């Protein structure tokens, strides 16, 4: 069971890493990133299981990288 969970988390992380490398900032892609970050932060404050926590942290890292890329290109993230 633990191996299955570990494998699932690894696959999720690998998928997100690949997705991040293909992120191309645009006005459409960048709009609402800050709101999505706030939503994940709220979910984390509400409590979560270990598995869900790892997924939320990975999503948060991904969104923060995307936010950085958007700001670097001059797009609004609100």
pLDDT at 16 over 90: no
Going by pLDDT thresholds of 50, 70 and 90, the confidence category of residue 22 is confident
- Selected residue with higher pLDDT from 42 and 14: 42
**Which DSSP symbol is given to 31?**
T
Give the tokens for residue 10: 């690894």
Provide CB contacts within 8 A for 57, sequence distance 6+: 44
Average pLDDT, rounded, for the chain: 84
Count of Cβ atoms closer than 10 Å to residue 25 Cβ: 19
What local confidence, expressed as pLDDT, does residue 41 receive?
96
- Selected residue with higher pLDDT from 9 and 72: 72
């Amino acid at each position: 069971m633990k191996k299955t969970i570990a494998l699932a988390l690894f696959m999720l992380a690998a998928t997100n890493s690949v997705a991040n490398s293909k992120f191309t900032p645009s006005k459409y892609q960048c709009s609402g990133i800050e709101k999505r970050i706030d939503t994940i932060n709220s979910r984390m404050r509400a409590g979560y299981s270990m598995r869900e926590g790892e997924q939320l942290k990975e999503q948060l890292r991904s969104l923060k990288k995307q936010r950085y890329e958007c700001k670097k290109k001059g797009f609004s993230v609100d």
